[in-house]
Amino acid sequence: MVAALAEGPLSSSPQTADKGPQVHLEFSAKVIQRSDGRLREAQLFVKGDRYRLEHRGGVRTDLGYAGVSIVRLDKQEVWFLLSQRRQFLVVPIRPDHRLPLASHLEGETSRLLIGEASSGGRPARLYELTIAGAGGAERYYQWVDAEQDLPLKLISLDRDWSVEYQHVVFSKQADYFFEVPLGYRRWEQPPVPQEKG
């Protein structure tokens, strides 16, 4: 079993209504995720329907810690790079692998503009959102970049959960960031020996 990119209730957090960002954004940022008192940080690189996370401290898999994960929404896969083995582990994408990269969220039932604000030194619009979920409605504050329509920060008012992008730089991202490095082999499950008899 592979740990989520961000363990905790991210899987029950609001997700984008489609398979990825609503616009073709290209940027890099530091992503900070808080959940149940735990903090996770990574350097993030986004190019449309794919993104790369360089995890601070790594992310645990059954094969050891992966320092990098590449989320490929176009292939519906996540690739965990295991640098010590020079291998990569492929898993099907799950809701907890997705980051909120679109301002409108799945299950959104109301959106109230509170006013102008800023997040990470960028001008933003602050909203209060209500999201319908399996356990009932949840409320969130959301800071949306005034120029690029990127949610810079999303905080749950009902539980200890948040995700924030800091030091956002909108620029072209190299295609090779989102590919498996040369010399890495895909990890394959070893065949199970059959009993003779």
Global pTM value: 0.82
C-alpha 71/C-alpha 92 separation (Å) is 10
Residue 12's Cβ-count burial label (10 Å; 0-12, 13-18, 19+) is middle
The CA distances from residue 12 to 1, 56, 112, 163, in Å, are 19, 23, 22, 13
With contact defined as beta carbons under 8 Å apart, do 80 and 92 qualify?
no
Q: What pLDDT sits at residue 3?
A: 41
Q: What pLDDT sits at residue 13?
A: 39
Q: Which domains can be identified in the chain, with CATH numbers?
A: 15-182 (2.50.20.30)
Nearest to 93 by CA among 114, 70, 68, 111: 70
Q: Which amino acid is at 50?
A: R
Query: Digits of tens for pLDDT over the chain (197 positions)?
Result: 344 444 333 333 344 434 444 457 899 999 999 988 889 999 999 999 999 999 998 888 888 889 999 999 999 999 999 988 899 999 999 888 889 998 898 889 999 999 999 998 899 999 999 998 777 889 999 999 999 999 999 999 988 899 999 999 999 999 999 999 999 999 886 665 666 65
